[in-house]
Chain A
Amino acid sequence: MNPTYVRIELARQSRDIGNLMFTVGLPAVMYLLFGNMFGGGSAQAGSGNVKFYIMVSMAAYGAAVATTGIAGTAAAENMLGWGRQIALTPMKPSGFIQSKVAVALTIAAAAAGVVFIVGAATGAQADSWSVWVLSYAIAVAGSAVFALYGMGVGMSFKSETAINVAGGVLVFFAFFGNVFLPLSGTMLEIARFTPMYGFVGLARWPLLEGAVATPGATADSFWWLVANLVGWALIFMALALWAMRRTRSRQ
């Protein structure tokens, strides 16, 4: 990873004001909608309240949307031949991916940060500061997996629309990953294998320690959630590296 390269890339991303507002602002708006949709937002949930639960969920989702979108710009860059230009420097494909992930994480940190600030201001509560800090850190760090996802999908399908598709599929992952509404029965059993399940489960760990919001559902073990996240990280990493190598040749 190269700090100067990351700095210039960040400056470039932040010039796209419209996109940035959307990426950073939307998860907070979603939190406000979801958080007030159900009564009893201040009811107890684990070591905090229901609003905190929804806040963490939306922050995690928002962070994943940000990393998918930002990393997906790598696909558009490659279509412009930037990947070939980079291939004429000593930076390796893995270095390019790391730099992209660093930029994506910075913006994800902003998106999740806005949700947490809005949450704190509107009644999300937890028993201790450590629950706030750990939840935030996990939501941001874990979203790196979706940077690999965005890059891999964007570059595999050589078109500008690929990244929109990746964003759309993310909504699907979120729904089946138990991010939005608590799933139950067979749906929940399937959900345990989908890409966002481990991620959001870990982000909620400081609050719930594996407990599932659905009444009567069995709790998740910490290692199952880690295995889910790491497994999908490896799959998306392989996809991104494969796609990256492929786009070095001409389009």
Chain B
Amino acid sequence: METTIQQQQARGGPDQAEPALAMEAVRKTFRTAQGPLEAVAGIDLRVGAGEIVAFLGPNGAGKTTSIDMMLGLAVPTSGRVSVFGKDPREAVAAGEVSAVLQTGGLLRDLTVRETVTAIAALHGAKDRVDAVMERTDISGLAKRKVSKCSGGEQQRLKFALALLPDPRLLVLDEPTAGMDVSARHAFWDTMRADALEGRTVLFATHYLEEAQDFAERTVLIGAGKVLADGPTAKLREMTGGRVVSATLPEGRPVAAAVAELELLERVASVRLSGRRVHVTGPDSDAAARLLLGPLGATDLEIAAPTLDAAFMELTGAAS
């Protein structure tokens, strides 16, 4: 008996391995003039060491608020957050977690090199300045004032600051927001090269494409809750598949048609506007067959939902 337990611990099976990040029933309520606002409404999340996770959700979903709690910048109203088994503030002080924050965070009248040096000094990592600037491709900007840097360049600078402590967990809050397509690709190319060093990466985004290109696992977040969590490859299913719309024929009861559609397997929702019906679900073929066949509908269209539409569906905001 004793030997087996020891063996398991030595191997460090999944149960023993300490997660890079653990959130348990985390909630955060803000007091606002309009009354309390629950920005994070009970999030449970475990991210294992070495995982690359996308935190995908529309604006206002609660991504930044969650990230602030992972970094100890905000304290949860209730629930527990730990980073490598520690309190987030301790993990930050130990340089185990670092982040590219969504808004601001730079002094406009410092040069790029001064900015990196100042933050490096606080981490006791001045010897990493050159390497990090090289890696994030900002060596050429060293003498430039931050205020004269483009959005993409500032973002690379913030990325450099995040790499200074050589963190085991790197958190990126919409790192490419406001960049054009080529800047975005360049940024992710740099990231990709870096992340291969075995860091754990969690990044927030509202671009489906970013999650698909970069993350192995995607956590869908909406209205402060985890809506779905799984391999990015299964994202289509998570977002509720496709929308089939068609016009129902005149002279037949619409309610009966809707009821029949709702009986189909794996249909997430059926919505009606006038005689036009919208069926959402992963199995578009079955809905299409039923609509064109027995129901006699016309003008059939099948569309992949936009991310926003998918979220509305998942959060029930549309119904």
Contacts and interface: CB of A to CB of B under 8 A. Distances in A.
Interface string B10-39: 000000000000000000000000000000
Given A8-B114, A85-B161, A90 B95 contact: yes
Interface size class, chain A: 20 to 34
Contact of A249 (B73, B110, B114): B73
Nearest to B64: A250
A222 to B, nearest CB: 39
A89 interface: yes
B98 A88 contact: yes
Contacts of A8: 110, 114, 117-118, 121
A88 B95 CA distance: 8
Contact of A90 (B93, B104, B107): B93
20 contacts: A2-B121, A5-B121, A8-B114, A8-B118, A12-B107, A12-B109, A12-B110, A77-B107, A80-B104, A81-B104, A82-B107, A84-B105, A85-B106, A88-B162, A89-B122, A90-B95, A90-B124, A249-B73, A250-B73, A250-B74
A73 to B, nearest CB: 10
Contacts of A5: 118, 121-122
Interface in B60-106: 64, 68, 71-74, 92-95, 98-99, 101, 103-106
A63 to B, nearest CB: 24
Interface string A1-45: 011110011011001100000000000000000000000000000
A3 B121 CA distance: 8
B119 interface: yes
B243 to A, nearest CB: 35
Contacts of B93: 90
B103 A81 contact: yes
Interface of A: 2-5, 8-9, 11-12, 15-16, 77, 80-82, 84-91, 248-250
B190 to A, nearest CB: 19
B106 A80 contact: yes
Interface of B: 64, 68, 71-74, 92-95, 98-99, 101, 103-110, 114, 117-119, 121-124, 126, 161-162, 165
Given A81-B101, A81-B105, A248 B122 contact: no
Closest 6 interchain pairs by CB? Answer: A81-B104, A4-B121, A89-B122, A81-B105, A85-B105, A90-B93
Contacts of B109: 12, 15-16
A82 B109 CA distance: 12
A72 to B, nearest CB: 15
A91 B114 contact: no
Given A80-B108, A82-B106, A85-B161, A90 B92 contact: yes
Contacts of A80: 104-108
A90 to B, nearest CB: 4
Contact of B101 (A9, A77, A84, A249): A84
The residue among B99, B105, B110, B117 with the most chain A CB atoms within 10 A of its own CB is B105
A7 to B, nearest CB: 9
Contacts of A91: 122
Nearest to A89: B122
Nearest to A99: B122
Contact of A85 (B72, B101, B114): B101
Given A4-B126, A15-B109, A250-B103, A84 B73 contact: yes
Contacts of A84: 73, 101, 104-105
Contacts of A11: 114
A98 to B, nearest CB: 13
B123 A89 contact: yes
Contacts of B99: 88
Given A77-B107, A84-B105, A85-B161, 13 more contacts: A5-B121, A5-B122, A15-B109, A80-B106, A82-B105, A84-B73, A85-B106, A86-B122, A87-B73, A87-B92, A89-B119, A249-B68, A250-B68
Contacts of A2: 121-122
Most buried by A among B72, B95, B104: B104
Contacts of A81: 101, 103-106
Contacts of B103: 81, 250
Contacts of A12: 107, 109-110, 114
A4 B119 contact: no
A108 B260 CA distance: 81
